[in-house]
Amino acid sequence: MIDGNIRLLAAIMFTDMVGYTALMQEDEDKAIFLREKHRKILEKTIPLYQGRILQYYGDGTLSIFGSAIEAVRCSIDIQKELQIAPKIPIRIGIHIGDVVYEDDGVFGDGVNIASRIESLGIEGGVLISDKIYDEIKNHPEFQTVSQGLFELKNVRRPIEIFALTNKGLAIPKRDELKLKTKTSFKSIAVLPFVNMSSDIENEFFSDGITEDLLNALSKVEGLQVTSRTSAFAFKGKNIDIREIGKQLNVSSVLEGSVRKAGNRVRITAQLINTIDGYHLWSESFDRELEDIFAVQEEISRRISNILREKLTINELAQPLVKKYTSNINAYSIYLKGLYYWNKFTPEMTSKAIDMFNQVIQIEPEFPLSYARLSGCYTYLGATGIMKPELAYPRAKDLAYKALDMDNTLEDCHLAIGMVKFFYEWDFDGAEASFLKALEINSGYGTGYLYYSMFLSGMYRLKQAKSFAEKAVALDPLSPVILDNYADTLMYNGNFEDANHYYQKTLELEPSFRNALYGIGWNHYYQGDLEKALQIFEKVINQVGHPLKGLTTYGFICAKLGLKDKALEIITKTKERERLEPETSMNMDFAVLYAGIEDWENVFKYLEKAFIEKNGGLLFLWSPIYKKIHYTERFNNLLSRIGLNYNLQDQSVD
């Protein structure tokens, strides 16, 4: 009992008769007869599957089940029985979540989501949420089809909805569902333009054109643009446009090709409606390479004008594409650097640094190169690949140069924000920079990602989750964004949801190690140390190096009482520190010594991390350090960093 209420985790099923109100007006006796038959069938069937009807809503019902599998089986049987004459048209929606049950009724986010899902359905059909799907996907008795991601009213995260396709059930068309949501024609994805040039090296050029168009369209007020990572997930894949629209939850797609020969370029582009595959517009542009910025501006405006007919988009007063250089060689090298940077690996980051430095030598007044280069060094410093005292000063210098050149670019403000956050520990200034970037471009998924990471560091965990959700809505297929969202769910104690998104991240990118770490910590925070140990052992195997990937495994070993094993890992970590003097291991030692509760050594390495301004210090609210959270020494360290946590509400504890 909690404050007089009963809180349950349950599979929640809503049923609702379709057209009941109209039938009451036409034939009241028939409407009442069908409603009562509907109720009798439910009252007979639901208990057979260990379910319970909690509430009647006129012509609908709310029921709960202890098992998602039983709830789905029940829904299929109900629909089949209701098809027997006289046929009763109902729709069913199922979700799994918390239910608060009290004398005045049934409440909770889970109830709201199940209700919203049911309202999207059609008579004779059953819709289920992604969480229900996860529970039944390995059971061959159930057949499903994804209807895509949907933003439901008063639901903070986008929900992937599936339709059951078992024999006898009605299956809605995706456009039938979309008409009931707020997405309408307000969304677009820019697919990677195909490189049609003979030189494979020109692929980075076509990718760069794509990204510039994407960024330009994201500045159109009222238009939701799917971020780069999700759009590029379809690169090189021959997938029907309607299926892409379903997966990205967009109503239109821009695709095209780039053919570069000598000093000329031909760009073809076509805008397609994802509901019916109809071509809204297509055109080819033959230009000198010096006109590339003008071509991008022209394409972006053409598209926005076409969509304006279906939207209430304001006239565009400002140019969508800025021209920073007339040197096409510098621009081409910049696009190549962008191509490497978007691979998000240490090796590719090094190549990106080389490219951006070349651009700066050729064109010293190209602000985006400075901003991107700053991001590269922040990444290297934050991950410990480069000593923070070497990486961060370079990142700071480059970020401020970029901002001095153009303070209207969101990327410049994000670069400043990351420097203020990780290096200067100017947290008010960092937040102002992140918010400024989002003010400039409110459709930038990376902006929401960075701000969410900042909010997590500030121990504002609920806000961090909210902004992480916005990033997912804009970039639903980005492993980095999905992983961060899973982190915020875990920080807020939503362990089941967190695991779902960690798994989804690994489905998109099986080698994404951060998600595997997340699953391990998720088990740890729930008290399942054995499962956490198994996951962190997988990390070690994936890393494939005798001295790397050991820290989390050593911590869990210590917590399980395997102190000798933990001490062995500390010895190996010291050997790695000796062999890799350019890498920072201070936070690794702090975690390992926290595992064996050697608090003197924990403070020793936290002090070393403080001197080098290690990014790990920005997450000291972690329960790993719970036993020293209220010590004078710990609070003194927080004070010197500039942090002021209220650790009374430890959500992940």
Instruction: Confirm if 111 and 38 have CB atoms less than 8 A apart.
Output: no
Same domain, 216 and 123: no
Same domain, 119 and 203: no
Same domain, 561 and 606: yes
Residue 384 included in any domain: no
| pLDDT value at residue 180 | 56
Look at residues 354, 353, 355, 358 and name the one whose alpha carbon lies nearest to residue 375. 353
- pLDDT tier at 427, thresholds 50, 70, 90: very high
Look at residues 561, 624, 566, 629 and name the one whose alpha carbon lies nearest to residue 590. 624
Last residue of a domain, one of 295, 322, 349: 322
Residue 206's φ and ψ, nearest 5 degrees, are -65, -35
Residue 405 included in any domain: no
Same domain, 172 and 192: no
Residue 486 vs residue 340, higher pLDDT: 486
Same domain, 46 and 117: yes
Does the pLDDT of residue 184 top 50, yes or no?
A: no
Residue 613 included in any domain: yes
Q: Which two tokens stand for residue 466?
A: 């909210």
Task: Please give the C-alpha separations between residue 133 and each of 72, 73, 173, 177, 550, in angstroms, as whole numbers.
Answer: 10, 13, 19, 18, 34
Residue 607's φ and ψ, nearest 5 degrees, are -65, -40
Instruction: Confirm if 164 and 180 have CB atoms less than 8 A apart.
Output: no
Question: Once rounded to an integer, what is the mean pLDDT over residues 544-570?
Answer: 94
| pLDDT value at residue 509 | 81
Cα 211 from Cα 230, distance rounded (Å): 12
| pLDDT value at residue 138 | 84
What are 286-312's pLDDT values in tens digits?
877 766 666 666 776 666 666 555 444
Number of domains in the chain: 3
Question: Once rounded to an integer, what is the mean pLDDT over residues 139-148?
Answer: 85
| pLDDT value at residue 578 | 92
- 359-363, 378-382, 628-632: which has the minimum mean pLDDT? 378-382
Range ranked top by mean pLDDT from 116-125, 172-181, 232-241: 116-125
Average pLDDT of the chain to the nearest whole number: 84
Q: Which residue has the tokens 């890799």?
A: 580
Last residue of a domain, one of 322, 347, 380: 322
Q: What CATH number does residue 82 fall under?
A: 3.30.70.1230
Cα 607 from Cα 611, distance rounded (Å): 6
For residue 86, cis peptide bond before it (omega within 30 degrees of 0): yes
Same domain, 298 and 261: yes
Q: Which residues contact 286 (CB under 8 A, 6 or more apart)?
A: 264, 265, 266
| pLDDT value at residue 1 | 35
Residue 142 included in any domain: yes
Helix (H, G, I), strand (E, B) or coil at 535: helix
Does the pLDDT of residue 315 top 60, yes or no?
A: no
User: How many other C-beta atoms can be found within 10 angstroms of the C-beta atom of residue 581?
Assistant: 9
Question: Once rounded to an integer, what is the mean pLDDT over residues 230-255?
Answer: 82
Same domain, 614 and 633: yes
Cα 264 from Cα 268, distance rounded (Å): 13
- 38-52, 272-286, 542-556: which has the minimum mean pLDDT? 272-286
Same domain, 301 and 221: yes
Cα 336 from Cα 260, distance rounded (Å): 15
- Full domain range(s) for residue 620: 545-653
What are 561-590's pLDDT values in tens digits?
999 999 999 999 999 999 988 888 999 999
Residue 642 included in any domain: yes
Question: Once rounded to an integer, what is the mean pLDDT over residues 56-65?
Answer: 83
Does the pLDDT of residue 211 top 80, yes or no?
A: no
Same domain, 152 and 269: no
Does the pLDDT of residue 230 top 90, yes or no?
A: no
Does the pLDDT of residue 4 top 60, yes or no?
A: no
| pLDDT value at residue 636 | 95
Q: Is 340 left (phi over 0), alpha (psi -120 to 50) or beta?
A: alpha
| pLDDT value at residue 293 | 65
Residue 596 included in any domain: yes
Last residue of a domain, one of 322, 342, 373: 322
- pLDDT tier at 625, thresholds 50, 70, 90: very high
Start-to-end C-alpha separation, the chain: 21
Question: Once rounded to an integer, what is the mean pLDDT over residues 115-134?
Answer: 90
Same domain, 219 and 162: no
Q: What CATH number does residue 215 fall under?
A: 3.40.50.10610
Same domain, 21 and 97: yes
| pLDDT value at residue 576 | 93
| pLDDT value at residue 198 | 72
Q: Dihedral of the CA atoms 98, 100, 101, 103 (nearest 10)?
A: -170
Helix (H, G, I), strand (E, B) or coil at 266: strand
Instruction: Confirm if 132 and 95 have CB atoms less than 8 A apart.
Output: yes
Residue 397 included in any domain: no
Q: Which two tokens stand for residue 170?
A: 């009605």
Q: Which residues contact 395 (CB under 8 A, 6 or more apart)?
A: 374, 375, 377, 378, 381, 415, 418, 419, 423
Residue 607 vs residue 649, higher pLDDT: 607
Question: Once rounded to an integer, what is the mean pLDDT over residues 175-183?
Answer: 55
Question: Once rounded to an integer, what is the mean pLDDT over residues 333-341?
Answer: 80
Q: Which helix (H) or strand (E) holds 581?
A: none
Residue 426 included in any domain: no
| pLDDT value at residue 310 | 45
Cα 96 from Cα 64, distance rounded (Å): 9
Residue 187's φ and ψ, nearest 5 degrees, are -135, 150
Instruction: Confirm if 247 and 241 have CB atoms less than 8 A apart.
Output: no
What are 13-59's pLDDT values in tens digits?
999 888 766 676 677 778 888 888 888 899 999 999 999 998 887 67
Look at residues 19, 16, 23 and name the one whose alpha carbon lies nearest to residue 39. 16
| pLDDT value at residue 87 | 84
Same domain, 237 and 302: yes
- 259-268, 390-399, 591-600: which has the minimum mean pLDDT? 259-268
